Amino acid sequence: ARLPGVQVRSIRPDSQHPCGGERGLFATRRWHPHDIVGEYTGRVCSAEQAAEESARGGQSSAEAEEYRLALSKSSSTSPFVQARNAGNETRFLNDFRGISDEPNCTFSEACIGGLPTVLVVVTATVEEDEELVVDYGDQYWGRTPS
């Protein structure tokens, strides 16, 4: 089932967009702060499983982490949602850097039916045809917070 209110779109390769030639997630309606776009879905795996799969697939660690999200930021042993080859539209959320001044969505940890999950929650008004963007965080970019 498709998520209502969003659409995956190709980004022109010749654009000034940092993800030119790739895809992004765009609003097909107006979104308001605290709206839930949907659950970040994919295959749940441990960090060890994800690393093994990357090595078998010949991926660099950076490529392997492109679509991987920890279910809990507070645990170093947290399982991950790996959305590289499976998942819904939320896997096409791009980092806000080079696109907007601030992210307009965030990843939010939740528990649904006793199971950990990550939701995509709107943090600022998003107009129709605007790209939904998040902050991938300093760890993704290999930086330490200043």
pTM: 0.82
Within 10 angstroms of residue 45's Cβ, the number of other Cβ atoms is 16
Torsion region of 68: left, alpha or beta (phi above 0 gives left; psi -120 to 50 gives alpha): beta
DSSP secondary structure string for all residues of 36-70: EEEE--SEEE-HHHHHHHHHHHT--HHHHHTTEEE
Q: For 69-95, write each residue's pLDDT tens digit.
A: 777 776 666 777 777 777 899 999 999
Tokens of 8: 């995956």
Which residue, 27, 23, 19, 34, is CA-closest to 3? 27
Q: For 13-67, write each residue's pLDDT tens digit.
A: 988 999 999 999 999 999 999 999 999 888 888 777 766 766 666 655 555 556 6
